[in-house]
Amino acid sequence: MKAISQMPLCQLWTEDGVVDAQHGRMLTIADIKTILRSGSVLFVIADVGCPPEWIPIDQCFHFWKSVKGNITDEKRFRLKDYPGEFVYSAMEWNTESGKLIILLEMYH
């Protein structure tokens, strides 16, 4: 699968090709908690040099618990203020089918 060459992303893709989705708003931790309570969501990790990592839907709550301490809603941040000195910026993506995707762009 194609690796990410720059961020922010202008499209999402899987091994099967481009995903029909449009980016929306930046998300806060509170936004993500609300989204998780309201139904199913897909998480995708974007890291430059790697292909997008799609988290299986049955693992989204476990995954959320493992990354929520590294989510920022700040435009400016210091990596040393986060565990492991990496941070995710969260962006909402909407699909034509109504499925919601939370893209986590990783900075390290």
- Of the candidates 23, 44, 45, 32, which has an alpha carbon nearest to the alpha carbon of residue 108? 45
Q: Is the dihedral of CA 34, 90, 47, 107 positive or negative?
A: negative
Tens-digit pLDDT profile for the chain (108 aa)?
899 999 999 999 999 999 999 999 999 999 999 999 987 799 999 999 999 999 998 998 899 999 999 999 887 888 999 999 999 999 999 998 888 999 999 999
Q: Which residues pair with 91 in a beta bridge?
A: 26, 103
In the chain, DSSP finds a helix count (H) and a strand count (E) of 2, 8
